[in-house]
């Protein structure tokens, strides 16, 4: 296994970073493009492996479509292939075969899809055999993955009878649903969202040009770097003030940790400013992808914190709550796990006696812990996992003055 040694000799960071494009936005736009009959032109698509896999599979003529470990790709393609009568088998890695998809499949079956489980019921691989719409009103739990809901919404306009989707209970990751609907609106789709009901009539996506924004999830690691540096001025290119991405809430969260954000033409500038560390508490229900970043930062700064709204982290690339508990524990920070939803981080000091971080085949574990290199040399196992969302991450760290040494 490869191990990357990460440290920063000066602890002062001044850099301009051409931030990676948004994987979330790219993958939604690609599905919409395909549903339009490829009449839409997209610019600045993400180089992330998840997005490149989706591009490849949308253009593939093979029967077996392997999404590798891309959850968004699996869920979006399940709905896309079903309603477009694309007969295929959707599969992925062993971890992907452990990630539940029954709620989405049940919704598609109710609408008229013909889908079979190839191995275990409720999990990929899936055999998609066809589609004939039977009804246009279904309900789905709102507190499951928003990707299930987005997958159904994007295909709704091409359904002959349209779709009335009722969201049951609390709606989690709401900004991702809003991103989906706003992208659909940009490409000419009208919808009504009233209380817990979303109605999309049968209509066509309109040809337009769209440039993908840079990724606010990826930006979160640079905010963490700014918060841990002794001095920092970091320009992140390609971010928008009026972002569709829910993770742009990182702007407000990082004020607590002494990082200011100035919007400039073409991006934003992060600056480190003195701030007195205080207890931190936040509900990550609508932005779970930045929870690991904040958890590691709180541990590094010795800030007691309570992070809630973490239920979806259990079914990501790994069980991210367990992964945080394990790796922070090895660094001397013993978090308290409250059920499946919350963690408490005590006021403590990181012990770098064993600075080796296991990444669990999870890109966000690698990138959340890498900023610790500003405090002490850390060792990141399997550094290549970042290709899933941010392939240039390590190269960008070098641009910012980090020293990286690859070990076997």
- Which residues are marked as active site? 289
Which helix (H) or strand (E) element contains residue 105?
helix 102-111
CA–CA separation, 145 vs 142, rounded Å?
Answer: 8
First to last CA, the chain: 6
CB burial string 283-318: b at 16+ within 10 A, e below: ebbbbbbbbbbbbbbbbbbebebbbbbbbbbebbbb
CA–CA separation, 272 vs 404, rounded Å?
Answer: 23
Cis peptide bond prior to 28, omega within 30° of 0 = no
Phi, psi of 187 (to 5 degrees): -95, 25
List, as one string, the DSSP characters of 242-269.
T-S-GGGGHHHHGGGGTEEEEEETTEEE
Q: Are 356 and 381 in contact (CB under 8 A)?
A: yes
CA–CA separation, 208 vs 42, rounded Å?
Answer: 9
What does the block give as tokens for 188? Answer: 């000419």
CA–CA separation, 291 vs 383, rounded Å?
Answer: 20
Biggest CA pair distance of the chain: 64
CA–CA separation, 348 vs 28, rounded Å?
Answer: 41
Which of 235, 364, 229, 345 lies closest to 293 in space, CA to CA?
364
Burial class from Cβ neighbours inside 10 Å (0-12, 13-18, 19+) for residue 19 reads buried
Q: Which residues contact 106 (CB under 8 A, 6 or more apart)?
A: none
């Amino acid at each position: 296994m490869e191990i990357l040694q990460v440290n920063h000799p000066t602890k002062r960071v001044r850099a301009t970073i051409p931030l990676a494009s948004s994987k979330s936005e790219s993958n939604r736009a690609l599905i919409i493009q395909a549903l339009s009959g490829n009449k839409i032109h997209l610019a600045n698509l993400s180089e992330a492996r998840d997005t490149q896999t989706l591009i490849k599979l949308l253009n593939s003529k093979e029967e077996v479509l392997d999404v590798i470990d891309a959850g968004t790709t699996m869920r979006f393609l399940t709905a896309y292939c079903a309603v477009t009568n694309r007969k295929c088998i959707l599969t992925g890695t062993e971890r992907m075969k452990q990630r539940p998809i029954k709620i989405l499949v049940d919704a598609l079956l109710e609408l008229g899809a013909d889908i079979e489980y190839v191995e275990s019921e409720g999990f990929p691989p899936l055999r998609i055999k066809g589609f004939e719409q039977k009804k246009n009103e279904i309900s789905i739990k709102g507190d499951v993955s928003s990707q299930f809901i987005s997958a159904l919404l994007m295909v709704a306009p091409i359904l002959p009878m349209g779709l009335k989707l009722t969201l049951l209970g609390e709606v989690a990751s709401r900004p991702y649903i809003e991103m989906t609907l706003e992208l659909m609106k940009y490409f000419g789709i009208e919808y009504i969202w009233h209380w817990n009901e979303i109605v999309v009539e049968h209509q066509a996506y309109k040809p337009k040009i769209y440039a993908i924004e840079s990724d606010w999830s990826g930006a979160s690691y640079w905010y963490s770097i700014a918060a841990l540096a002794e001095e920092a001025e970091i320009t992140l290119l390609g971010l928008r003030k009026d972002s569709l991405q829910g993770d742009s809430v990182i702007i407000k969260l990082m004020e607590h940790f002494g990082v200011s954000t100035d919007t400039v033409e073409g991006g934003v500038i992060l600056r480190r400013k003195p701030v007195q560390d205080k207890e931190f508490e936040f509900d990550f229900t609508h932005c779970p992808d930045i929870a690991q970043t904040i958890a590691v930062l709180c541990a590094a700064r010795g800030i007691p914190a309570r992070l809630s709204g973490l239920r979806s982290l259990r079914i990501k690339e790994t069980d991210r709550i367990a992964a945080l508990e394990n790796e922070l524990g090895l660094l001397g920070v013993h978090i308290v796990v409250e059920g499946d939803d919350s963690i408490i981080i005590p006021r403590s000091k990181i012990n770098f006696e064993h600075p080796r971080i296991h990444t669990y085949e999870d890109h966000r574990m690698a990138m959340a812990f890498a900023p610790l290199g500003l405090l002490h040399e850390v060792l990141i196992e399997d550094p290549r996992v970042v290709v899933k969302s941010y392939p240039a991450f390590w190269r960008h760290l070098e641009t910012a003055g980090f020293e990286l040494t690859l070990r076997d």
